[in-house]
């Protein structure tokens, strides 16, 4: 296998809420200011953090997920997207060792650092701690023989306490480098809502907030130490990904919903569809009057349609365009928010019910709690638009809204435990349900979609 050096760091944390996203985005901002050609990645299935990364560096951030893809393919995806980078920053997920089922580190930050041999730097909320910090960090460093934890950034402490804490930690844990600190920065805090952070495009002063973080990092982070740690990462071996395009006289055109209401997509999914020969055409269900001309397929991703239910419902021309296309046989894949949009009615965040596309004859409504959260493996119970009976694909669910008819074409199974349930509407040209599909986990699903779109074009 090819082997190449990729300077890289993983920014992890002792727990969620420690400041990973703030530190990762601030570091990306600081590196870009200094003219470093930087690329960003996110561990796990999260859609929102990569939007923040993109807003900082102006280039799409990528997800690396060891539940969705094998270690070999994960390394290949990293290598492909970091090929022209001088440094890559990977933001971790949850606590450093938190993985599948709550009892393993599988698919978590530590697993990714280990499989990609990436040096990890922990962000620790050190407020109110002293010697206990060394005990905490010692546990993280030594919990696994190959922890990959090489450094720490102390968050929410004062300049006065930092020298003492740094000396104490490095005395107790000589294998660990203390690489700076951040004080409390309330003016740079990032808002959140029910699916995590508010999206980057919704924060009007995001650039100003991240500049404040980067300004602080200029003063209190050991940037040279971070660069040296990234540069010391071992060479990475990987097998380049090769995709055979679908045979077609001309590229099938897939209309992709992309606006404030529909924004949850994996960039590698787009890359895969393009490699298979598709042309992706963005459109807005909020503001466009119709699907793009020459549409051969439709992809409705997740997002926040519940926040824009009134506007979506009032755009009757788009709803009619969508209905006509799908009913005429145009292939349509809809995930989570896109699935809600296809319902007869959708309860908005304001509590009112709004008419939607009516392609799923059911009501979608708010539950007030997180439903069926986490990774799943989907198995087809019959032939569908994307696969034959018995085919499997990996996915995840994360939603506070529910449907009177979530579908029954697939069986979903949690990777840990025995919980199972039915999901997905799959009839004719429609494939719609709550699960967000990881098409990289089974390329044949993406190939079947592009082939059907190519047939539609013919």
By annotation, the residues acting in catalysis are: 336
SS3 181: strand
Q: What is the C-alpha to C-alpha distance for residues 127 and 320, in angstroms, rounded to an integer?
A: 55
Q: How far is CA 43 from CA 57, 61, 189, 361, in A?
A: 18, 11, 22, 36
User: Which helix (DSSP H) or strand (DSSP E) does residue 326 occupy?
Assistant: helix 316-327
What are the structure tokens assigned to 208, written together?
A: 């100003």
The answer to whether 86 and 59 are in contact (CB under 8 A) is no
In this structure, the number of other CB atoms found within 10 A of the CB of residue 127 comes to 13
* Helix locations, 280-400, DSSP H: 309-314, 316-327, 337-341
Q: How many CB atoms lie within 10 A of CB 63?
A: 24
* CA atoms within 13 A of residue 282's CA, in its CB half-sphere: 10
Q: Would you say the C-alpha torsion 270, 273, 279, 282 has a positive or negative sign?
A: negative
Nearest CA to 78 out of 25, 32, 41 is that of 41
Please state, as a whole number, how many other Cβ atoms lie within 10 Å of the Cβ of residue 458: 9
Q: Is residue 96 within 8 Å of residue 122, measured between CB atoms?
A: yes
Phi, psi torsion values for 172, nearest 5 degrees = -75, -30
Report which DSSP code applies to 68.
T
CB 265 within 8 A of CB 282: no
Sign of the CA dihedral running 431, 436, 437, 440: positive
| Residue 278 per-residue DSSP state | -
254: β partners = 280, 297
Residues 6+ apart with CB under 8 A from 338: 257, 262, 299, 300, 301, 302, 303, 305, 432
- Coil vs helix vs strand at 330: coil
Single out the residue of 316, 264, 265, 253 nearest to residue 288, CA to CA.
Answer: 316
Query: Tokens representing 372?
Result: 């069926």
Question: Cα–Cα distance between 72 and 210 in angstroms, integer?
Answer: 34
């Amino acid at each position: 296998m090819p082997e190449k050096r990729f300077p890289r760091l993983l920014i992890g944390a002792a727990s969620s809420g420690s400041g990973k996203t703030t530190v990762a985005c601030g570091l990306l901002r600081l590196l870009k200011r200094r003219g470093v050609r930087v690329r960003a990645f996110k561990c796990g299935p999260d859609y929102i953090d990569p939007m923040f990364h993109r807003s900082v560096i102006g280039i799409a951030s990528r997800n690396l997920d060891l539940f969705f893809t094998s270690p070999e393919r994960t390394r290949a995806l990293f290598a492909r997207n970091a090929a022209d980078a001088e440094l890559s920053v990977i933001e971790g997920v949850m606590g450093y060792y938190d993985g599948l089922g709550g009892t393993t580190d599988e698919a978590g930050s530590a697993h990714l650092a280990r499989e990609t041999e990436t040096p990890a730097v922990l962000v620790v909320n050190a407020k109110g701690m002293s010697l206990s910090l060394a005990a905490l960090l010692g546990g993280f460093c030594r919990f696994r023989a190959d922890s990959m934890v090489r450094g720490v950034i102390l968050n929410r402490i004062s300049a006065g306490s930092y020298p003492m804490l740094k000396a104490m930690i490095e005395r107790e844990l000589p294998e660990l480098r203390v690489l700076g600190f951040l004080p409390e920065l309330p003016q740079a805090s990032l808002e959140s809502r029910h699916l995590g952070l508010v999206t980057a495009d919704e924060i009007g002063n995001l650039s100003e907030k991240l500049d404040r973080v980067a300004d602080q990092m200029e003063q209190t982070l050991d940037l040279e130490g971070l660069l040296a740690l990234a540069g010391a990462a071992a060479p990475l071996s990987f097998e380049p990904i090769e995709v055979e395009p679908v045979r077609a006289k001309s590229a099938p055109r897939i209309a992709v919903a992309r606006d404030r209401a529909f924004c949850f997509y994996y960039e590698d999914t787009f890359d895969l569809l393009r490699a298979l020969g598709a042309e992706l055409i963005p459109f807005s269900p909020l503001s466009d009057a119709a699907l793009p001309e020459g549409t051969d397929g439709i992809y409705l991703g997740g997002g926040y349609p519940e926040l824009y239910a009134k506007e979506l419902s009032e755009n009757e021309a788009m709803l009619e365009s969508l209905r006509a296309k799908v009913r005429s046989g145009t292939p349509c894949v809809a995930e989570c928010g896109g699935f809600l949009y296809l319902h007869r009615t959708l309860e908005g965040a304001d509590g009112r019910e709004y008419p939607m596309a009516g392609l799923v004859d059911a009501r979608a409504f708010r539950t007030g709690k997180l439903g069926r959260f986490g990774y799943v493996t989907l198995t087809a119970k019959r032939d569908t638009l994307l696969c034959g009976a018995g085919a499997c694909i990996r996915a995840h669910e994360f939603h506070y809204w529910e449907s009177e008819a979530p579908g029954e074409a697939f069986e979903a199974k949690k990777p840990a435990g025995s919980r199972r349930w039915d999901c997905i509407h799959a009839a004719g040209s429609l494939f719609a349900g709550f699960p967000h599909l990881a098409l990289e986990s089974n390329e044949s699903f993406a190939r079947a979609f592009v082939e059907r779109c190519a047939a539609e074009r013919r």
